Structure 1
Amino acid sequence: MSSTTDASTGRAQISERTLRTDRWWLPPLLNVAGLGLWVIYATVRAFMHAYYFTNEQNYSYLTPFYSPCFSVGCYPEASHFGQFLPDWWWLPYAAISLPFLLLFRLTCYYYRKAYYRAFYLSPPACAVAEPHKKYTGETRFPLLAQNLHRYFFYIAALISLVNTYDAVVAFINKDGSFGFGLGNIILVANVVLLWLYTASCHSCRSIIGGRLNHFSKHPLRYKLWGQVSILNGKHMQLAWTTLASLAITDFYIMAVSAGWWGDPRIVG
């Protein structure tokens, strides 16, 4: 059988970049717009150093963009784990967690596909030739660092625990009483989505069942692997949903903190 990849064996040479007639360019264009807008918003908010904590009200909401808040410039009530970072304008208040969360997303298998196609055009879509003449894959720096995704997953899971703690303590008012409002619902919904996205990660699926040769000998891990595999099928949707939930949660807390509107209280 002759090769279908070697031009010398008679494979048809097509000068056009693609023969597709559908709008193949629309998904990468939407990815550029969506990811670009989110990065701009998140960058502005991370360096704003304001409107991240509802300090003037009896209830307390801390945006996930500033958690954990380690800077000496943070409100003491918002610094649940201490203050030891200097208050410099170019240093985010959550400078310890944000880089690892960014690296977790950057090395995510789905996001790789999204921004490789959208920003690098490598390739922009199936059956569409990429403009690059040379392809080295992820075998050289900096893309070689994509192999560290599993370790960024561990750190992201720890940060999700911190976000969970923030959502729980938000039910305790400053006077010690219990209360909750719309902000609590938004915080909890965001945390649930973050956990679903983290659990749906390909690394999580591999950690749970990737090294098992006999599922029958590990029934519990096999069951967990099956559940994670179901989530893994929704990884793309969860990747985008959590970007939206993070932005919505942050914007809501910013609006309440800035006094643009009040938090509708259900209890307390």
Structure 2
Amino acid sequence: MSSTTDASAGRAQIAERTLRTDRWWFPPLRDAILLVLWVAYATVRAFQQDWYFTADQNYNYLTPFYSPCFSVGCVPEASHFGQFLPDWWFLPYAAITLPFLLLFRLTCYYYRKAYYRAFWLSPPACAVAEPHRTYTGETRFPLIAQNLHRYFFYAAVIISVINTYDVVVAFINKDGSFGLGLGNLILLANVILLWAYTISCHSCRNIVAGRLNHFSKHPLRYKAWTFVSKLNARHMELAWTTLASLAITDFYIMAVSAGWISDLRIVG
């Protein structure tokens, strides 16, 4: 009998797609369902053009899905950076920034893994054969565009700064007084999570100190790289957590703006 470790014997001919006996199909199925539900919710909200700002209350809550609000159809108090986009129903009020956020997430290393497995079955799980006969990786259009992730990261940082500005502004009531409510805490928690997800990006880790040959000569960059590396180990969890925090933040502001609930005010 020939040795099973003999390279000349070739690979074992196994008819089954996989020999795994666990529920390997559950993670990609779960991810597909969750991603579809989130995209559906976000799409409806982005084009709804209503209930995005607490216009009838003294406090200032602007949902991240509409920030920055550049359309001339935006509530003036919600347009912190001017209004220059036409008010068309098929154009989101935050049409300038939403594409960059979408591309940042689409090209994210973790999300690539998630939707490659969930939608393209490439492969659906470890040690499970994929149905595709050829494999070209990310060397051809359109997947070669995944290499632009670093540039979308720069845009995401700028947008995170804008989201942070929205959080600060939300603490100032429309009458100029200081205010604090449950909405402020939700907005603050969301922006902290967004920053954690953004700087835990693999590109950020490489930008901070990826090309250094001697960490000892760059102690500050080394400390920054160490911090980012710790966050990077939680990049998958942060990717999903921020999807949840964005939806929760948007839904809360929508509910308050629509008058379904009242904001729990702590101060002011």
Normalised by the shorter chain, which TM-score bucket?
Answer: over 0.9
CA contact (8 A) 1:196 1:231 kept: yes
1:61-210 matches, within 5 Å, as 61-210=61-210
Q: CA offsets, 1:92-141, max 9 Å, x none? A: 00000000000000000000000000000000000000000011100001
CA contact (8 A) 1:5 1:11 kept: no
Shift in Å, 1:209: 1.0
Q: Which residue of 1 aligns with 2:14?
A: 14
Q: Which residue of 1 aligns with 2:226?
A: 226
User: 2:41 and 2:5 mapped to 1: Cα distance?
Assistant: 46
User: 2:106 and 2:249 mapped to 1: Cα distance?
Assistant: 21
CA contact (8 A) 1:123 1:129 kept: yes
**TM (normalized to structure 2)?**
0.97
Sort the Cα spacing of 1:5 and 1:128 in 2 relative to 1 into closer, same or farther, 3 A. Answer: farther
SS in 2 for 1:47: helix
1:29-40 matches, within 5 Å, as 29-40=29-40
User: 1:224 and 1:167 mapped to 2: Cα distance?
Assistant: 25
Q: Which residue of 2 aligns with 1:263?
A: 263
Structure 1 letter corresponding to 2:159:
I
CA contact (8 A) 1:209 1:225 kept: yes
Q: Which residue of 1 aligns with 2:25?
A: 25
Shift in Å, 1:4: 7.8
Q: Which residue of 2 aligns with 1:45?
A: 45
Structure 2 letter corresponding to 1:251:
F
SS in 1 for 2:48: coil
Shift in Å, 1:10: 2.4
- In structure 2, stretches of 5+ residues that fail to align are none
Structure 2 letter corresponding to 1:29:
L
User: 1:179 and 1:221 mapped to 2: Cα distance?
Assistant: 38
CA contact (8 A) 1:62 1:253 kept: yes
User: 1:10 and 1:250 mapped to 2: Cα distance?
Assistant: 55
Which 4+ stretches in 1 moved above 3 angstroms? 2-6
SS in 1 for 2:266: strand
User: 2:83 and 2:11 mapped to 1: Cα distance?
Assistant: 65
User: 1:183 and 1:265 mapped to 2: Cα distance?
Assistant: 8
Q: Which residue of 2 aligns with 1:250?
A: 250
CA RMSD of aligned residues (A): 1.5
- In structure 1, stretches of 5+ residues that fail to align are none
CA contact (8 A) 1:72 1:86 kept: yes
Q: CA offsets, 1:141-189, max 9 Å, x none? A: 1000000000000000000000000000000000000011000000000
CA contact (8 A) 1:4 1:11 kept: no
How many residues get paired? 266
Structure 1 letter corresponding to 2:185:
I
User: 1:3 and 1:252 mapped to 2: Cα distance?
Assistant: 60
Structure 2 letter corresponding to 1:62:
L
User: 2:86 and 2:62 mapped to 1: Cα distance?
Assistant: 20
Shift in Å, 1:13: 1.2
Q: CA offsets, 1:46-101, max 9 Å, x none? A: 00000000000000100000000000000000000000000000000000000000
SS in 2 for 1:239: helix
Structure 1 letter corresponding to 2:253:
I
User: 2:68 and 2:258 mapped to 1: Cα distance?
Assistant: 20
Q: Which residue of 2 aligns with 1:214?
A: 214
User: 2:6 and 2:31 mapped to 1: Cα distance?
Assistant: 30
